[in-house]
């Protein structure tokens, strides 16, 4: 639902400066903060929008919501602002919302695409960003325009049953009931049927009594019956206005409208006949039902009226309790919806999500409005300070690490020995997987040392001395889990010369994936060295000797050697690739990464450690 903006915000200086040409990825871990912390004080006068009168107390509640949002969350990876909002003003295309109860609140917007203005201050580059809403008396979901009237609004809330990523996987990510701060309240997820994804909601209402009522089949059919003549008159008016003076066209289009209306009425009659003994059951419709469902289909089932009944993916139809809707005119909210849209593999959105479920004081907000004696005389405090950070605990370096660090011929070494088990690798940047997880350090039964888990992440060293030596030997240990799915995407190691972060001018990529049942695996070497001409460009496939999936730990040591223009690749001590003229002798690499794309199944994990770059 669109909102009216009550506050116009000014862009304020940001103290943290980044390199010119800000990219979303380069700042996603940086705390940028708010344009301004407002500390709203409440208002003394109300306001009017159409026929909705907002009291001074209601508008002051918007101030409280805005203050509580800013107290609970510090934007990271984006520039935040907070605005107050009330129900949208009626216009040509939203008359179906006229009967919505008056809503009011505040929302945070985190702009994620930033640029520098003429004063070298960070400002939004466009209007795209993440949102967090705290709205009193808000109605979620998607309108049913054909049956909504000036006195009653109807809507659907498609959820996990229609999730693009699968019902169980989506529920695993978005089920908020597992959060102890949210568990006492009603929470749900509503699919975005236009853009994909969806919105998480937490509803605070007295005694968890929902303001939304499900319609029965009988009620829904009655609404369709009333909607047909309204539809007819509206379409008739359009025809006569558009075809003024052209009786032939009017006759043609009216005949078409009459036939369509007759099909609506026939479909309604057949639906009543089929469900005549079940009119008291909950109505289950498509995600965006309309009168057109009556033409050729079954309004309550997938398929036609002659097909066997199937309700898979169908959803209830709701209306707002008329009694509660009327009470929304009072100073006190009847319910409060806290909502946000997030994707687990987006760092900015994930930080917002974690801040809401861990910091926002749902209990205080509930008690403030619905059990005020419990918080009388107290002010809002987040459950956890948004400024708090998990302490980075550095463990003792291994003897091997100490030895290599002291060796002047060792340009880089990493065995993850300084990172605790279950923690993200210290000194490395890891992206988020599809489920929001990141690379962590683990022990492998039967193998010594610490290992970085590789699934669908990109792992990049933050402490790599740049550039690499002109001539070097690079090696790393790679382990594929037992029963790793044959043919799944493998682990790719990339060395590149970047003109700017993430923009590789030249590179080599080595992708390895294991075979199965003791059979050899596959190595794919992709090279791009376009200038000067005559060097390696393209992709070649090789046998990854001895790399399979049948052992408990399928371990190999990968070695890449650059000597002047020559490139050699070994698995263990077996040479699998040799290029006499691969890389310009003077080229200096300045970036390195490991990544696995698309592997989310539990067996399809790889592990890396003992990464060494030595000068030759």
The CATH code of the domain that includes 520 is 2.60.120.200
Residues 178 and 222 in one domain: no
Residue 391 lies in a domain: no
Residue 387 lies in a domain: no
Residues 591 and 452 in one domain: yes
Residues 368 and 310 in one domain: no
Task: Find where tokens 């289950």 sit.
Answer: 284
What CA–CA distance (Å, rounded) separates 199 from 176?
12
Residue 385 lies in a domain: no
Residues 166 and 313 in one domain: no
Residue 234 lies in a domain: yes
Q: What is the pLDDT of residue 118?
A: 87
Q: What is the pLDDT of residue 21?
A: 55
What CA–CA distance (Å, rounded) separates 217 from 143?
18
Residues 276 and 292 in one domain: yes
Residues 172 and 293 in one domain: no
Q: What is the pLDDT of residue 487?
A: 81
How far is Cα of residue 540 from the mean position of the Cα atoms in its chain?
36
Read off φ and ψ for residue 341, nearest 5 degrees. -110, 130
Residues 17 and 121 in one domain: yes
Q: What is the pLDDT of residue 2?
A: 41
Residues 524 and 502 in one domain: yes
Residue 16 lies in a domain: yes
Residues 81 and 139 in one domain: yes
Residue 80 near residue 47 (C-beta atoms within 8 A): no
615: enclosing H helix or E strand: strand 606-615
In terms of phi and psi (left: phi > 0; alpha: psi -120 to 50; beta: otherwise), the region of 77 is left
Residue 128 lies in a domain: yes
Residues in the chain with pLDDT values less than 50: 1-19
Residue 393 lies in a domain: no
DSSP E strands in 365-443: the ranges are: 410-414, 428-430, 441-442
Residue 18 near residue 116 (C-beta atoms within 8 A): no
Residues 136 and 285 in one domain: no
Q: Which domain holds residue 130?
A: 3-211+321-375
CB atoms within 10 A of CB 53: 12
Residue 291 lies in a domain: yes
Residues 194 and 261 in one domain: no
Residues 558 and 507 in one domain: yes
When divided into structural domains, the chain yields a total of 3
DSSP E strands in 468-547: the ranges are: 472-481, 491-500, 503-513, 521-528, 537-544
């Amino acid at each position: 639902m669109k909102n009216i903006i009550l506050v116009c915000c000014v862009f304020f200086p940001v103290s943290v400066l980044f390199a010119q040409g800000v990219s979303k990825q380069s700042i996603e871990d940086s705390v940028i903060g708010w344009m301004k912390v407002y500390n709203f004080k409440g208002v003394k006068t109300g306001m009017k929008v159409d026929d909705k009168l907002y009291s001074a107390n209601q508008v002051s509640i918007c101030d409280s919501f805005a203050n509580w949002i800013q107290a609970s969350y510090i934007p990271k990876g984006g520039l935040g602002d907070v605005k107050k909002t009330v129900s949208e003003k009626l216009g040509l295309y939203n008359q179906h919302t006229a009967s919505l109860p008056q809503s009011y609140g505040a929302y945070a917007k985190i702009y994620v695409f930033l640029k520098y203005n003429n004063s070298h201050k960070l400002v939004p580059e466009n209007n795209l960003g993440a949102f967090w809403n705290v709205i009193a008396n808000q109605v979620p979901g998607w309108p049913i325009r054909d049956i909504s009237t000036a006195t009653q609004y109807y809507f659907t809330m498609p959820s996990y049953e229609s999730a693009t990523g699968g019902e169980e996987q989506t529920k695993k990510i978005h089920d908020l009931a597992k959060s102890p701060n949210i568990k006492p309240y009603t929470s749900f997820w509503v699919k975005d049927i236009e853009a994909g994804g969806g919105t998480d909601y937490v509803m605070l209402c007295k005694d968890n009594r929902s303001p939304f009522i499900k319609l029965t089949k009988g009620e829904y059919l009655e609404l369709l019956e009333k909607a047909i003549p309204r539809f007819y008159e509206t379409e008739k008016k359009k025809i006569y206005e558009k075809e003024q003076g052209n009786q032939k066209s009017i006759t043609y289009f009216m005949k078409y409208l009459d036939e369509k209306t007759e099909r609506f009425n026939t479909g309604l009659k057949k639906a009543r006949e089929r469900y005549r003994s079940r009119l008291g059951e909950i109505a289950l419709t498509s995600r965006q039902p309309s009168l057109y469902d009556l033409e050729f289909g079954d309004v309550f089932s997938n398929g036609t009226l002659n097909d066997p009944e199937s309700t898979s993916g169908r959803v209830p139809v709701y209306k707002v309790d008329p009694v509660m809707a009327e009470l929304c005119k009072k100073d006190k909210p009847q319910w409060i919806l806290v909502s946000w849209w997030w994707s687990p593999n987006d760092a900015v959105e994930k930080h917002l999500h974690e801040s809401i479920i861990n910091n926002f004081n749902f209990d205080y907000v509930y008690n403030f409005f619905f059990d005020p004696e419990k918080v009388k005389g107290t002010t809002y405090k987040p459950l956890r300070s948004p400024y708090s950070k998990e302490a980075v605990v550095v463990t003792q370096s291994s003897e091997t690490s100490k030895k290599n660090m002291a060796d002047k011929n060792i340009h880089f070494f990493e065995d993850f020995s300084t990172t605790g088990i279950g923690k993200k690798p210290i000194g490395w940047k890891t992206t988020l997987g599809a489920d929001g997880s990141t690379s962590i350090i683990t022990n492998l039964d039967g193998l010594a040392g610490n290992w970085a888990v590789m699934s669908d992440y990109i792992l990049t060293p933050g402490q790599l001395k740049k550039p690499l030596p002109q001539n070097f030997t690079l090696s790393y240990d790679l382990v594929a889990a037992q029963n790793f799915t044959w043919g799944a995407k493998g682990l790719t190691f990339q060395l590149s010369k970047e003109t700017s972060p993430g923009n590789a001018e030249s590179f080599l990529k080595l992708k390895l994936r294991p075979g199965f049942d003791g059979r050899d695996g596959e190595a794919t070497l992709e090279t791009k060295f376009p200038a000067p001409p005559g060097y390696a460009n393209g992709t070649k496939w090789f046998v990854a000797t001895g790399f399979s999936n049948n052992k408990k730990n399928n371990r190999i040591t990968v070695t890449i050697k650059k000597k002047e223009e020559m490139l050699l690749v070994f698995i263990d001590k077996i040479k699998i690739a040799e290029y006499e003229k691969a890389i310009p002798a003077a080229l200096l690499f300045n970036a390195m990464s490991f990544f696995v794309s698309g592997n989310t199944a539990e067996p399809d994990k790889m592990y890396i450690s003992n990464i060494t770059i030595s000068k030759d």
